[in-house]
């Protein structure tokens, strides 16, 4: 999930290859041709600009981190475990993208959806479930999260979903730890019905890792 690490590795590999080619050219070329070899080798560092996109975190990750620089501390199945410290207050969260998404009517455009499970010690919040649904939800519409054979009503705000009855959240998270997947249903402001299914593979391990890393 760490696109930045992949891009950084590619950039480093490209630079190393360029440096190796330059050394070989200087060794093999006659003394009078070294300047030409240097000129030929100059374009080698050109992959460096590719590092710029790597510096931009996923917008959803940055939003969950409160605008602070997030740190990926582990990837567990489909779930990434992150920590950040916005305004000096530690925030920890697990994040995943849906394994499948459907709209009714079919193929309606929308932004990517994400599921979060967040812990914010300074606010005494532990394992808060939220969904960034990827579109503006229809005001007053009913949304639900289905897991472990139970359905939990979710309240909507903007493009986000949170559980209506906070007293049920611990039971819901426990069901998410034990289940294979979770299904989230919503209705957009334009009346499009959506169904997103998130794999829960690795969630339990991600939450255990965050519990260790997000102590006060």
Token digits of residue 36? 């030409």
Query: What pTM, to 2 d.p., does this model score?
Result: 0.68
83 vs 203: CA distance, rounded Å: 15
Q: Report the sign of the C-alpha dihedral through residues 145, 151, 157, 158, in that order.
A: positive
pLDDT, tens digit only, all 216 positions of the chain = 333 333 233 333 333 333 333 333 333 344 444 444 444 444 444 444 333 333 344 555 655 555 558 899 999 999 999 999 988 889 999 999 999 999 999 999 999 999 999 999 999 999 999 999 999 999 888 899 999 999 999 999 899 999 999 999 999 999 999 999 999 999 999 999 999 999 999 999 999 999 998 875
111 vs 93: CA distance, rounded Å: 21
Reply yes or no: is the peptide bond before residue 105 cis, omega within 30 of 0: yes
Instruction: For the domain made up of 58-213, give the CATH fold.
Output: Immunoglobulin-like (2.60.40)
The order of strands in the sheet holding 150-157 is 71-76, 79-84, 91-96, 114-120, 125-132, 160-163, 150-157, 143-147, 181-187, 193-199, 100-104
**Which of 8, 17, 20, 11 shows the shortest CA–CA distance to 48?**
11
Q: Report the sign of the C-alpha dihedral through residues 19, 20, 22, 23, in that order.
A: positive
Element holding 122 (H helix, E strand): none
Element holding 117 (H helix, E strand): strand 114-120
Element holding 141 (H helix, E strand): none
């Amino acid at each position: 999930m760490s696109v930045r690490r992949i891009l950084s590795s590619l950039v480093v590999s490209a630079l190393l290859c360029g440096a190796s080619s330059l050394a070989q050219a200087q060794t093999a070329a006659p003394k009078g041709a070294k300047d030409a070899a240097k000129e030929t080798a100059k374009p080698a560092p050109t992959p460096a600009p590719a590092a710029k996109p790597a510096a931009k975190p996923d917008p959803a990750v940055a939003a969950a981190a409160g605008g602070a620089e997030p740190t990926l501390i582990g990837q567990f199945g489909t779930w990434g475990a992150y920590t950040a410290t916005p305004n000096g207050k530690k925030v920890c969260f697990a994040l995943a993208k849906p394994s499948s998404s459907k709209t009714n009517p079919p193929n309606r455009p929308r932004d990517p959806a994400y599921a979060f499970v967040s812990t914010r010690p300074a606010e005494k919040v532990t394992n808060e479930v939220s969904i960034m649904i990827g579109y503006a939800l229809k005001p007053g519409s009913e949304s639900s999260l289905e897991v472990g054979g139970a359905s939990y009503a979710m309240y909507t705000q903007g493009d986000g979903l949170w559980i209506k009855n906070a007293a049920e959240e611990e039971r819901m998270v426990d069901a998410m730890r034990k289940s294979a997947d979770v299904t989230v249903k919503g209705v957009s402001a334009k009346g499009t019905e959506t169904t997103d299914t998130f794999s829960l593979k690795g969630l339990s391990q991600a939450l255990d890792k965050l519990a260790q890393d997000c102590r006060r």
